[in-house]
Amino acid sequence: MDERPEIGFRFKKFLFNRALRILLITNGLILLASAMLGPIYALYVQKVGGDLLDASLAGSVFAFIAGLTVLLSGKYSDKLPQKKLVVVFGYIIIGLGFLLYTKVDSVKFLLLVQVIIGFGDAIYNAPFDALYSEHLDKGKDGTEWGTW
């Protein structure tokens, strides 16, 4: 009898359960997309007519909207039975914001895109953490939170 599939299954199970793997991969893709923009962001802002102050303002708008909205998102996500759908909805909003970067032609439009991305980030953030917490394996919560 070939034991490789069983070893592979145990190895996957050893790393993380299926729900955490999905959450880690999807969140990793969002973070990767954001991180790829970071090094060229100031050049991008300059290309649409802005300067360093505008780039800072755009980052501040994102942080303010995300910080304000996450409070509401967390409160309402506690009442929803399908938190995963809220996470997906947040990812869709962020994806829309990333696509809108290709259409930005002014600093005002850039600020609007930052509002959209900040809103999407806040929408998915609290339910993501709640889902992650729900799927932690007993006795591995430090390791699994550390991985995130």
Domain map (residue ranges) of the chain: 17-147
Q: Tell me how far the alpha carbon of residue 138 is from its chain's centroid.
A: 25
Q: Is-contact 74 126, C-beta < 8 A?
A: yes
Tokens of 109: 């439009």
pLDDT at 108: 93
The mean per-residue pLDDT over the stretch 46-65 comes to: 87
Read off the pTM: 0.79
Q: Read off the tokens for 74.
A: 């967390």
Selection from 67, 10, 27, 3 nearest residue 147 by Cα: 27
Query: For residue 93, what are the CA distances in angstroms to 96, 98, 127?
Result: 5, 9, 15
User: Which tens digit of pLDDT belongs to each residue from 19-37?
Assistant: 888 888 988 998 898 888 7
Task: Dump pLDDT digits (tens) for 68-110.
Answer: 899 888 888 888 888 889 999 999 999 999 999 999 999 999 9
Round to whole Å and give the CA distance between 148 and 141.
11
